[in-house]
Amino acid sequence: MNHSLNQDRWKDYLYILPMILVFCVFILYPVVQVIYQSFFIKSASGEMSWAGLGNYTKFFHSKEAKIVFKNTAIWCLIGTASKIVLGLIMAYILNKKFRGKKLLTVIILIPYAMPAAVSCTVWRLMYNPNFGHINQMLLDLHFINRAVSFLGKPATSLTAVMIVNIWAVAPFCALNILSSMYAIPAYIYEAAELDGANAWQQYMRITLPMIFKDVRTLALLIGIWAFNSFDVIYMMTTGGPANSSAILVNQVYSNAFEFNNRPYSAAISVVCFFILMIFAVLYVQSKGREESYE
């Protein structure tokens, strides 16, 4: 009996062996290599020498660290909150029955379906201070006196890129929130209506509490995506000017491939790794709470 159980157990291990090998080769080994490399320093001649925590100390004491940590916090927190709020508004509208609902749904989903390269190119043209539509509209409305280089000014570059990211991801949030709204039984709203609850009271007392767990998990997922969203910033501003729109992942890229300082880039990668681990733990806990409620 025990012999057959042991055989079955070994068979189970064999079934998952390919997945374990893939994990070790493509995930675990690169992570260990990056962590190991972060403890070295590269000299002008290209030789690598042991530096201990030197790269970490250099990064945390640098001016760029303060800027990118601040930008990353703004990008993740304000950006995620804006996407969720817009998603709630759009989902609330799409949850109603009205003529042209299908057409409106398609229009809302266009930004999410559009490739990042295309949307960034379009927005760069719209932001252009010489012939962009945004500057022209603001000038016509007398909100500004002269054209503004939104992507070229440190005061506006991060906000300008964040608007593009919110515009692209908010439809995905709306779609997920809408699916949660569809799961709420109709009889709950019917009972509330019989009790005299208006549409706003139904939304605040029924809809929001019942979709809260899903929205919380969605917010954590969107936060993880925002933390890793290198492409939009790179294609819009490459993190400039003067790191005003750069976040942590941009610093990883620029130090590794532009300044050819791999150990220093590896140290920033490790910092990103541990921050993402916190996000991942929170996300798994949130998903676990969802499943325990079901």
Spans of all domains in the chain: 68-293
pTM for this model (two decimals): 0.88
SS3 string, 252-270, reads HHHHHHHCCCHHHHHHHHH
Average pLDDT, the chain: 89
Residue 293 is predicted with a pLDDT of: 53
| pLDDT exceeds cutoff 60 at 173 | yes
Instruction: Give the tens place of pLDDT for each residue, 15-69.
Output: 888 888 988 888 889 889 999 999 988 777 667 888 888 999 999 999 999 999 9
Instruction: Give the tens place of pLDDT for each residue, 98-148.
Output: 888 889 988 998 999 999 999 999 999 999 998 889 999 999 998 989 999
Residue 290 structure tokens: 């969802």
Instruction: Give the tens place of pLDDT for each residue, 211-266.
Output: 999 999 899 999 999 999 889 999 999 998 989 999 999 999 999 888 888 899 99
| pLDDT exceeds cutoff 70 at 90 | yes
Among the four given CATH numbers 1.10.357.10, 1.10.8.50, 2.40.110.10, 1.10.3720.10, the one describing domain 68-293? 1.10.3720.10
Residue 167 is predicted with a pLDDT of: 95
- How far is it, in rounded angstroms, from Cα 158 to Cα 144? 19
Q: How far is CA 90 from the centre of its chain?
A: 19
Residue 118 is predicted with a pLDDT of: 93
Helix or strand or coil: residue 9? helix
Residue 3 is predicted with a pLDDT of: 58
Tokens 């790179």 belong to 234
